[in-house]
């Protein structure tokens, strides 16, 4: 009996066992199986001699099998089949993006893929980590956000994104946008955002704060470029430079920040005004709990917020972070231990991690 923990996007255990027993080609691309006695993994339809059930292990994809120390079968070439399935799923994702404003049932998408609805559902989730419906919802949300940013009315934006009713959008407004559509469209309207600029050891830095705390802290090429970026992020807010008399608190925060990135103090515990989608805010809040000197992978971040499949979404949330260092996305590395990307440059990421590790061992 195979007692390994299965991936939730894979077929049921009995179905997989039957598929390899009958060499069912319909399941090629949905999973692979490995044989521990030979160290080889195959596609379900492989014509190789069948192994004893107790020696068989099931994996969602070739990458998982390789991570377990297995090598691909030269007869059935499971990697090639998986690549074909992945390519088909990418094509379906592109189709959803192009038709995001239309109603797209699982049956409609399955016809596009020339698969059964159940096969598409399992394979889509195995490749992209989310269901076709969740991907469609995200694509409609991007349309909605783009229209709101462009200044279109809330009703016009909701209709253009293909949502069937305003109540559905407002009911999940906080979950999807991190705020209601009207608030998202406001772009900081009615707010005054104060900023301070410094040349730091890691380069030009601009920090800005609204009533609730720091809402922007970014490195750039110079003050003018950073102020322009701040105004792009908050196009309807009043943006003003700080002064010692009116904004002493912000200047104190900037000094504490400078001491930290110079390696002379731990990360300051400043009030933060996190603005983004609900998913992004979950990622950022999770990162705030990562101890200084520690690092983790994007998959660990996804698991830490309860969505282990959303690895790419977690990486995108890190890339969308507009509060450098204070929200420590620099502590997230690739699964192989490589630095990966960083919104403000990989060299800054390396310097930040090295400085934090030195403080941890001092």
Q: For the range 231-238, what are the long-range contacts, defined as Cβ-Cβ under 8 Å and sequence gap of 24 or more?
A: 233/322, 234/187, 234/188, 234/191, 234/193, 235/187, 235/188, 236/186, 236/187, 236/188, 236/189, 236/190, 237/187, 237/188, 237/189, 237/190, 237/191, 237/192, 237/193, 237/210, 238/191, 238/192, 238/193
Tokens of 98: 């192009």
Distance CA 109, CA 106 (A): 5
Catalytic residue among 73, 76, 215, 329: 329
Cβ-count burial of 218 within 10 angstroms (0-12 exposed, 13-18 middle, 19+ buried)?
buried
Q: Judge whether 318 counts as a catalytic residue.
A: no
Cβ-count burial of 128 within 10 angstroms (0-12 exposed, 13-18 middle, 19+ buried)?
buried
Catalytic residue among 42, 46, 73, 76: 42
Cβ atoms of 217 and 323 closer than 8 Å: yes
Residues labelled as active-site residues: 42, 329
């Amino acid at each position: 009996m195979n007692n390994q923990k299965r991936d939730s996007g894979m077929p049921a255990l009995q179905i997989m066992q039957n598929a390899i027993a009958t060499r069912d080609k319909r399941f090629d691309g949905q999973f692979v199986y490995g044989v521990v006695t030979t160290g080889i993994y195959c596609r379900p339809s492989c014509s190789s001699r069948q192994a004893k059930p107790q020696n068989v292990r099931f994996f969602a994809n070739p990458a998982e099998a390789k991570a377990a120390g297995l090598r691909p079968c030269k007869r059935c070439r499971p990697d090639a089949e998986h690549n074909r399935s992945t390519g088909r799923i990418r094509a379906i994702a592109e189709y959803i993006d192009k038709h995001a404003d239309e109603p797209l049932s699982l049956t409609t998408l399955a016809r596009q893929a020339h698969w059964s609805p159940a096969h598409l559902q399992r394979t889509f989730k195995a490749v992209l980590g989310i269901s076709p419906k969740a991907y469609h919802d995200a694509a409609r949300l991007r349309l909605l956000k783009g229209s709101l940013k462009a200044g279109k009315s809330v009703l016009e934006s909701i209709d253009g994104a293909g949502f069937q009713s305003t109540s559905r959008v407002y009911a999940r407004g906080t979950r999807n946008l991190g705020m209601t559509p009207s608030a998202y469209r406001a772009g900081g309207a009615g707010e005054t955002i104060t900023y301070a600029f410094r040349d730091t050891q890691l380069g030009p830095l601009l920090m800005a704060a609204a009533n609730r705390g720091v809402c922007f802290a970014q490195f750039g090429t110079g003050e003018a470029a950073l102020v322009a970026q701040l105004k792009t992020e908050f196009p309807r807010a009043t943006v003003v430079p700080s002064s010692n008399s009116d904004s002493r608190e912000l200047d104190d925060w900037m000094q504490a920040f400078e001491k930290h990135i110079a390696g002379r103090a731990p990360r300051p515990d400043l009030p933060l005004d996190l603005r983004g989608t609900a998913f992004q805010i979950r990622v950022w809040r999770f990162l705030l709990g990562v101890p200084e000197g520690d690092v983790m992978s994007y998959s660990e971040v996804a698991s830490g917020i309860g969505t282990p499949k959303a690895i790419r979404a977690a990486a995108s949330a890190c890339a969308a972070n507009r509060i450098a260092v204070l929200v420590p996305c620099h502590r997230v590395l690739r699964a192989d231990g490589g630095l990966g990307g960083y919104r403000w440059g990989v060299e800054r990421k390396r310097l930040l991690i090295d400085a934090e590790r030195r403080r941890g061992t001092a």
